[in-house]
Amino acid sequence: MTQNRYTAAVIGLGFIGGADQVSGDALGQRVEDLDGTHVMSMLNHPRVDLVAGSSRDEGRRDRFSARFGVPVYADWQQMLAKAGPVDIVGIATYTPVHAEITQACVAAGARAVYCEKPVAPTIDEAQAMQSACEEAGAFLVINHNLRFHPNTRRLRDLIAAGGLGTLTSASAQWTSGRLGNVGTHMFDAIQMVTGLPITAVSGTLDDSSKPDCRGDNFRDPGGWGVLRLGRDLSATGEGPGGDLMCVVDAADYGSAPPRLRFHGTEGWAECQGREVHVHVNGKDPDIWLAEAETAGSSSMDRAVGDIVDALDGTTTFPYDPTEAVRTLEAILAFHASHQSHAAWVSLPLSGDDRNIVLHSG
């Protein structure tokens, strides 16, 4: 049986887009430490053909062309016009241009947009991206990598089946600040694993004024607070539902490792990177080890695999972009709450709170 092939291109050929170590050196990070890159996730799929790349930076274009042997363009609009129909476009640019590029990609015929996080600087732009993709029948996939880890999905299923009993609380800890760039992963994973949307935020930002590694044009503080999650079940006759509280500890400076914990009446679980430690009452701890590091095993590789399966029509894509928009909204609610001395801010945002801009790279 003949299987479809799909063309792909990458816009933004830096660290995570083009696996460019020169760009990584400027950030003080190594490509091999990433959980995948856009270009390699496309090259690693046997039915995806990389056909083009685009970057404003001449050095990045030259290095990308030399490594991968595909046409490169200084202008992404020119790339869309000249590269021919592209099925999958990876967007690895700064956040402020995500919306414009996404809408142009689907207008040019892209069937899937695989975009870096956070989804956009504002709620209006994020919703415009979602609407454009829905109207074109295209998939909008945000690179929240925890969504695509097998152990995270396994924990989601365990909790949904009552494996920890009834959830009583959750907590999130990381010590690099950056609610927009790091917190977006954590907030999204919390909603995925619990199956509950964030409905309100009480937060205080860290005013340490930590410099942003992406330059002086960006400021992305961390902070401390509480997320309220829940679902109103009254329309289904199942009652009003219950609130789940999640404590957030995300200072700009610190040395404690990142952790996500989920506490239930029958046990608790902790995510430590790709590992998950499960403690069920009365049983020995169960440690789910990270998958082996092989080609095709990164979260980004698996995301592209899910995209291909959905384009084939064999499965439904397992990630509703509404949840990525809600994650952005929760981050912006943190900023809104800080402005009101940690007062609770409900989602969806309304009034002036909808106009807050996330200055994240």
pLDDT tens sequence across 169-226? 999 999 889 999 999 999 999 999 999 999 999 999 999 877 777 777 889 999 999 9
**Spatial separation of the C-alpha atoms in residues 2 and 273, rounded to whole Å:** 38
The one-letter amino acid code at 111 reads R
Residue 129 has pLDDT above 90, yes or no: yes
**Spatial separation of the C-alpha atoms in residues 26 and 11, rounded to whole Å:** 19
Q: Look at phi and psi of residue 262 and say left if phi exceeds 0, alpha if psi is from -120 to 50, else beta.
A: beta
- Cβ neighbors of 77 (< 8 A, separation 6 or more) are 104
**Spatial separation of the C-alpha atoms in residues 135 and 191, rounded to whole Å:** 26
Residue 1 has pLDDT above 90, yes or no: no
DSSP one-letter string for 3-35: ---EEEEEE--SHHHH--HHHHHHHT--GGGSS
In the chain, the N- to C-terminal Cα span, in Å, equals 44
- Specify which residues 7 forms β-bridges with: 49
Residue 25 has pLDDT above 70, yes or no: yes
Looking at the chain, the number of H-run helices and the number of E-run strands are 11, 15
CATH architecture of 6-145: 3-Layer(aba) Sandwich (3.40)
**Spatial separation of the C-alpha atoms in residues 201 and 331, rounded to whole Å:** 9
The one-letter amino acid code at 75 reads D
- Cβ neighbors of 43 (< 8 A, separation 6 or more) are 50, 68
Which helix or strand (DSSP H or E) is residue 58 part of?
helix 58-68
Average pLDDT score over residue span 299-320:
96
Return the pLDDT at 273. 87
**Spatial separation of the C-alpha atoms in residues 38 and 58, rounded to whole Å:** 19
Residue 45 has pLDDT above 80, yes or no: yes
Return the pLDDT at 295. 63
Return the pLDDT at 240. 47
Average pLDDT score over residue span 42-57:
98
Higher-confidence position of 290 and 101: 101
The closest alpha carbon to 256, from 284, 222, 228, 219, belongs to: 222
**How high does pLDDT run on average in the chain?**
94
Long-range pairs for 334-343: beta carbons < 8 A, 24 or more residues apart: 334/179, 334/183, 334/201, 334/203, 334/205, 334/223, 334/225, 335/203, 335/205, 336/201, 337/201, 337/202, 337/203, 337/204, 337/225, 338/203, 338/204, 338/205, 338/223, 342/202, 342/203, 342/204, 342/225, 343/202
| 205's tokens | 């930002």
Average pLDDT score over residue span 122-138:
98
By the 8 A CB rule, do 110 and 135 touch? no
Return the pLDDT at 239. 46
Residue 238 has pLDDT above 70, yes or no: no
Decide if 6-145 and 147-293+323-355 have a common fold. Answer: no
Model confidence at 234, pLDDT cuts 50, 70, 90, reads: very low
The domain spans of the chain are: 6-145, 147-293+323-355
Return the pLDDT at 241. 53
**Spatial separation of the C-alpha atoms in residues 268 and 163, rounded to whole Å:** 9
DSSP one-letter string for 118-153: S--SSHHHHHHHHHHHHHHT-EEEE--GGGG-HHHH
Question: 147-293+323-355: what CATH class?
Answer: alpha beta
Return the pLDDT at 256. 87
Average pLDDT score over residue span 265-275:
95
Return the pLDDT at 289. 94
CA distances from 48 to 9, 32, 283 (A): 10, 22, 45
Q: 3-state class of 303 per DSSP?
A: helix
Residue 135 has pLDDT above 80, yes or no: yes
State the pairing for strand pair 167-173/259-264. antiparallel
State the pairing for strand pair 267-272/345-346. unpaired
By the 8 A CB rule, do 264 and 164 touch? yes
By the 8 A CB rule, do 169 and 265 touch? no
